[in-house]
A = this chain, B = another copy of it.
Amino acid sequence: MTTEFTFTEQARHGSARICRGCWDQMHMPIPIGGPLALPFRALGITRSKMNPDICTICERSFQYVKKQRQITVDATILFADIRGFTDLSERIEAVRLSEIVSLFQDRCAQAIWAHDGIVNKQMGDGLMAIFNFPIIRKDHASAAIGAAREIQRNCAAALGGLTLDALPLGVGVGIHSGEVQIGEFSSFRSDFTAIGGVVNQAARLESQAAAGEILISAETAAKAPELAADAETRMLTLKGIEQPVQARVLVKR
């Protein structure tokens, strides 16, 4: 599926005038910016919390958009969290802790949106992002790696002053690419999510990433060879996965 609209390339996150998800998925122009968006806003159709360049139709009406309960999508999944947060949460005061979580979530979201991903889930000091749905990005592996590098830069700047046992507070990122199931997997929620082995493996990779590291799977590296060329290779044993998994380690630069 391609779009004839060139604005998508130039758009900054949050500046799209029509929903990029509805356009990419249905070729339907849903205004989300400018005066044409006003009547839609009155109907409750606004910018999505997952990404301000998509709308609440994309977010909450998956079955309307796709005419199916679930679809299989070749996508890239990114997990990120604050390393040592459990330890940190025992030591610092509550208000400071919540400031750190807010800083982390906001800086990560900016990085993910800048590369056309969506923040699908936020879980305390962690999050999950999807690349290639609903905004189509054929180069979703590269987009996710770009977002991860920006997450590391943004968070280093935002959290840089803070230390844990004299080490600077840092973020770990895990990325994996492949076929995921996207749909609504609960009868009482209306927001879509992604499930499947690829999602779980991305989460496992993230759990093994040290502060400042981005661990990408061999599958993601193969889709973005130019970005993984100088990356160290590391063999990992991941919970729930029988064979050792080869990962590539990207570090801050």
Contacts and interface: CB of A to CB of B under 8 A. Distances in A.
Interface of A: 44, 49, 52, 69-70, 72, 84-87, 89-90, 94-95, 97-98, 101-102, 105-106, 109, 121-125, 128, 181, 183, 185-190, 193-197, 199-201, 204, 238-242
Contact of A200 (B124, B190, B197, B240): B124
A70 to B, nearest CB: 5
Contact of A189 (B49, B86, B128, B197): B49
Contacts of A106: 186-188
Q: Which of A49, A52, A123, A239 has the most CB of B within 10 A?
A: A123
A240 B195 contact: no
Contact of A90 (B90, B188, B190, B197): B197
Assembly stoichiometry (copies): 2
A86 B239 contact: yes
A122 B186 contact: yes
User: Which applies to chain A's interface (DSSP): helix, strand, loop or mixed?
Assistant: mixed
Given A89-B195, A200-B89, A102 B44 contact: no
A204 B85 CA distance: 12
A188 B50 CA distance: 9
B86 A197 contact: yes
Contacts of A195: 89, 97-98, 101, 124-125
